Amino acid sequence: MATHSVQHRGRPFIGGSWEDAADAVAVTDLAEGGTFAEVAAASAEQADAALAAATDAQDAMRASTVPQRASWLQAIADGLRARKAELAEVIVREAGKPITSARGEVESAAERFERAIEEVRQLHGEYRRGTTAGHEGWQAIVRPEPVGTVLCIAPYNYPLSTAALQVAPALAAGNSVVLKPASATPISTAILAAVVHEAGLPDGGFNYVPGRGSEIGDVLTGDDRVGAIALTGSSGAGEHVARESGMVELHMELGGNAPAIVLPDADLDAAAAAAAKGSVKYAGQRCSAVSRVLAHESVHDDLVERLDAALDDWPLGDLFDESTRVGPLIDEDQADWVEELVTDALDRGATLVRGGERDGRVFEPTLLADVPQDARIVHEEQFGPVVAVTAVADADEAVELANQSDLALDAAVFTADYDTAMDVADRVEAGAVRINGAPSHGLGDIPFGGVKRSGIGREGLGMTIEAFVERKTVIL
């Protein structure tokens, strides 16, 4: 186990200066227990000041050139890599992520800043001529302009890489940024704030306001100085922000309940490996996690056996051990929720194949078979390391069951038949359907996002840059 060597006290960063606050939020050490760090909690007045600073910086950010922004983004990527070991340890402790996964998250964040450079260089305007009667002589220039200030609200599960997916496109497009991290995981983004500061942006171009959502959330989301809001979080949080915000661009990736449909002709070993990974990676605390496996009744039992074997590759353990692949849940409340859903499934007749035990925040990787279709775990987002397998009679029943959920971010289908795969992909209600693989959003080169209660808009570096600009038409 690594020694508790990283000590931090994060502070708000507003208008180019670090500020103290009267209150503080303790950050739990999910690797060793106790308190790992604390962050000065921004007050409502400081949240307002951050918006004011971002507004004041809009002219300077708007006047910056693409080469200038590219230099900032590259400096941020380089700065993150220079602090990779420190950031990885922080993510292990505050997010409970195994060290190998934490290192990968730091690299993903750095690469997202670099890829934003490539994407913003492709952001072009248009020249148009009038083509309707009476407008034959019109000429128009259509050009992209920044929306002004982007409020970025990052989640706890990927605290650094998701922040990068929001912040990098916002800066690339020439906007000011106010970043609000999750209260459970504010230290990795405090380091990001320091790295951004060192990159040399105009004062107020980037602001960091850690703190309690109950105290500063509505101050930030309900302010008309905000031009766009990027939020990754629960559907409930997204709905609240949508109610509080005004005439702003909403860019939200919210909850998911991804079904993995396994048909009789599927490669069952590959399906089992993908479903196991999709279900228990980061203890299932991912919006794109496989939440339910809808297996054809003819392969249900065989698939369950292979899933049981596949879960051997996902051991719990010391988060700093290179072989550990599953860690704790973020807090006791989340563990309570997962336990509640597992208990409900068992009470309704599901079979416990493995796991099911809990020790505080730690919930064993769990496999449930013969889960009834009316079990809550089939319809609700679990955010836990549970593989719940339900039998279906055919592809039609699988699609019908998949579409009963009001969460529709991702889905997967496993089959050897191209036509069947495309038919299921067409009929499943989801923002993305992965064929013969677990849902994955990658670095942002492929657009992703949900339908129903799973979000608004499509994320991805290029798509997000487009969301953070407005098109102005100048008619000659």
- Report if residue 140 sits inside a domain: yes
CATH number at residue 37: 3.40.605.10
pLDDT for residue 7: 59
Exposure b/e, 361-376, CB count within 10 A at least 16 = b: bbbbbbbbbbbebebe
Does residue 137 surpass a pLDDT of 90? no
- Domain assignment present for residue 152? The answer is yes
Q: Answer yes or no: do 180 and 281 share one domain.
A: no
238 close to 456: Cβ distance less than 8 angstroms:
yes
List, by residue number, the catalytic residues: 253, 287
pLDDT tens digits for 193-235? 999 999 999 999 999 999 999 999 999 999 999 999 999 999 9
Name residue 121's amino acid: R
Neighbours of 446 (CB within 10 A): 14
Q: How far is Cα 123 from Cα 141, in angstroms, rounded to an integer?
A: 14
Distance of CA 371 to the CA centre of its chain: 28
Looking at the DSSP bridge assignments, the partners of residue 414 are: 262
Model pLDDT, residue 134: 83
CB atoms within 10 A of CB 95: 29
**Residues 380, 355: contact at Cβ < 8 Å?**
no
pLDDT digits (tens, 9 = 90+) for 58-105: 999 999 999 999 999 999 999 999 999 999 999 999 999 999 999 999
pTM, to two decimals: 0.95
pLDDT over threshold 70, residue 1: no
- Parent domain of 249: 9-254+454-475
Confidence at 132, pLDDT banded by 50, 70, 90: confident
Q: Both 265 and 250 in a single domain? A: no
Q: What is the pLDDT of residue 8?
A: 61
Residue 237 falls within a domain, yes or no? yes
Give percent above pLDDT 70 in the chain.
Answer: 98
* Domain match, 227 and 281 both: no
Asked if residue 353 belongs to a domain, the reply is yes
**How many structural domains is the chain composed of?**
2
Q: Residues 82, 189: one domain?
A: yes
Co-location of 217 and 83 in the same domain: yes
**pLDDT tens digits for 245-256?**
988 999 999 999
Q: Which of 278-282, 387-391, 408-412, 457-461 has the lowest mean pLDDT?
A: 457-461
Q: Do 357 and 289 sit in the same domain of this protein?
A: yes
pLDDT averaged over every residue in the chain: 96
